[in-house]
Structure 1
Amino acid sequence: MDGLQHHPWRKILLSDIRDIAIPVDEESAEWEALDAAVATIGTVSHSQINMDDVRHNALILLGKTKDLRVLAHLLRTLQHGKKPQDVTLALLLFADYCEHFWHSAAPQARAKSRLLKQILIRFGQAQEAFNLSSTAIERELALDCLRRIREALAEHQESIESIDQLYAGYSKKEENQAGEVVSSTRREDAVQIARAPAEYLASEAKVPAVAPTPGVAINTASEIEWKRTLLKVAEILCERIPQDPIGFRLRRHAIFASLTEPLNREGKTDLAPFPADRESDIKAGITHASVGEWIQVENILTSTPFWLEGHFISARIALQQNYSAVACAIKDELLALLQRLPMLRNFRYSDDSAFMSDEMKAWLDGRGSGASTFNAADESSSVLQCFSEQGLEAALALLNEKPIDNDLRGHYHQLKCSVQLLAEAGYKTLAVRQAESLWSACKTLTLEQWEPSFFEDLSALQNTK
């Protein structure tokens, strides 16, 4: 959700103009095109709308005027599809507007009240779909925006009840209503599909016999949608089976896959550190953290991808919960990230504080290797044979038995094995997507990055006297 917090549309909305009170020029080409297009949303002509052009016109106008009519049109384009990420962005924009422009911007009070009522009604119409498919971070951000809106409109008493109703509605965390009581077989299938995109695959934990697994729409239309799908699945897995490493691996795959070296000057970046007081509070609660509090830490990691210390904290909580396999999985994923981006180990935030504490570095460096390494050929063969003889769940459990080694070679071979398993199990679309993801991650690696232990051994031999 870091992308929403720093969304470029917020900068346009909050840009300075000469006179905040100036209304939109109703004779301008941009307004005429925008007003006409928005009038057709939801009608038989809806399919003819180029939504990108509509939004572009709205943003051009918002750089010239803060007239609520313009923003209402932009919000309508986001609210209509009821996609959680669009609804969250709409709430974020509206909260920004209410805090900065509500009292001063056009139009007049009566027209503004009418527009406010329409905006709130449309947020209400999007609530059910939002609750069904939003992530924890989107829900948290949506509720924060509604709190901001209520505070900014505190003097507008006629809207407070509607905002409170929205807050109560968006506070609900709906389970999937479509599937209702599914059979045990269907439930197990749903869990296997949820596990599939992750490498990441399985442990000895069983799915509880109660509570059907929430439905998740697998959306591969774009990298952003695919990442949201993975994060949603990870969220469900972490909440329902926190003793199983799979959800924690999947979350980190989704978070880490798109990370690149941040801009820096000799290791110092422009990234703000995680608030020190919050980090201290979380660390102070490690020894008595509940599973719910642990999941909150995990959710924070989704929106703060460079808060590496947070992963160390999560692993320590896992150990306190006696979930050592999860702690090992978190360490494995961090080591894989640092194999790809080793400079992060010594990078610093904008205040000159370190990405990683000495304690965290010692924890990472203390990881052993050797007998537990992943033998690609043998393990792939044994996993596929297990699948053919005992089924998918047994094969997933077998694949998860051995931790990956320090080399990316072993890590990616295990991921490749999981993709082969998905293909054999019939999850072709997921297998293709994961294969493409692995290809993108591997194709630029050097040999030394691929198997650094080989070069370390050669170096040691060269120094033999």
Structure 2
Amino acid sequence: MKYQNILNDINDETPVGIPDEEGEIFSAIDEQVMKFGSLQHDSINWDILINRTEQYLSYTCKDYKVLQYLGYALLQKNFKSSFEDFLLLFSAFNKKYFFIAYPKPSENKMINRFKEKSVGLILERVESATSNNLDERFSSLEGERIVGVIQELISQLAEYISNAEPVLNRLLRFVKDRIDAREKVSINETNLEQYLHNVQVDNIASLEQNNMVSNTLNFPEVASTDMNNVRQLKQFYFQVADTTCSIDSSSALGYISRRFGLWHGIVQLPEMNSLGSTMMQSVPLEKVIDYREQVVSSPSIALLERIEKTVTTSPYWIEGSYLSAKCCSALNFWGAAEAIKNVTKQFVDKFSMFHFAKFQNGEPFLNDVVLNWLSDEPITNSSTQMPSVNDLINNFDECYSSDGFVAVLKLIDEQLKSAGDIRSRSYLQFEKIRFFLKEGMRTIAINELLELISSSKKCVVEEWDSIFFTRLERLKDKLLKDNE
């Protein structure tokens, strides 16, 4: 079999070897891996990556993380010639090293989350590669062999890897749908019942592709949906989203519909205390970290679907929409990424207190990364945005540099007298606080800041600059912490 060296033990004493991530071979691998999903993705040298990962797995260490890199490189370079070979290697590797390979070798047949994540990433890499090669076809002989390998993988992994069975079942469908129709009769011809079932599945798939069977595609029943029923309307939009994304994962309509269904019924934020804490539970940190890592290292349609599923159960987890948009961008779904950002910003800007709100564990609804994402190329409104804020700030800085503290306070006070709206006055008061801090007057600055926060909370201003609230709150937290 191909890649037999990978299936040979490193040595008698340590069959799986020892990781060496500081060595020359792994450094060469890492140099290429760092380009995954970045602007340098097109400059990846697949031959070097294949050669070095094969070397590492054969002579240094049996590691599922490195096996994932090998699979990704093989399938990117030549999907058709590598698909079956890699699945065979994956299955044989599992058979021999599943419990004892890195990460986290185990002698008691337990699979911890690190290994589960590494194996799960291999499956997602393979599925992502199939989604980019939908025009591939297999002969009946190839199809039978690949189906057999996938079924073997299901028996090896289903019990231990949470996403294994659904992903592998989709791979089975991918292969069966692409076996040459002229040769399909030869498949399992001794089992007529199974053959007829496969033909039926194939026919339904063909009809789905031509949009001829709306029930198969699970289109929602518009006539039977009560548009005044919040629950029914929510399910209606979720169904539109799921069906649209199943037809075209890059469709902006699907992501907009899902968020409209999730958010349209929210007319006020959850009740919060004076610190902004609500009773809302945050998404488990471990899951969020996993999503963050995979969006960077291995973006895929399967990952996007998982993030979107979590978004639908956590309406105030705005980072989920950010991660979905980032994953869409990595998959070149640019329209979908922009649509997610726009509809998310509309929801956040609907509530002036959104930026004070926190989950039960103290995490903000909007962290710094999400705030930067939403504020990038901000939507402006000439009737509500204070004109020339940057010009005013520059004038204040120049005045402070040339004429000193008293002069700049006088200039700000003059601007305050002529400011005709609460928003402009709030910006000017914030500038005054900034200069108090420059002069080391921390106590006065804190008192002014608390007063500004208090007055801002009492106002409901349409289209208020969302970042301003967060700047106030973060500055308060920092000053109070430094003052302890």
Q: Normalising by the residue count of structure 2, what TM-score does the alignment of the two structures yield?
A: 0.34
User: Which structure is higher in RCO with an 8 Å CA cutoff and minimum separation 6?
Assistant: 1
Computing the radius of gyration over CA atoms, which structure comes out larger, 1 or 2?
2
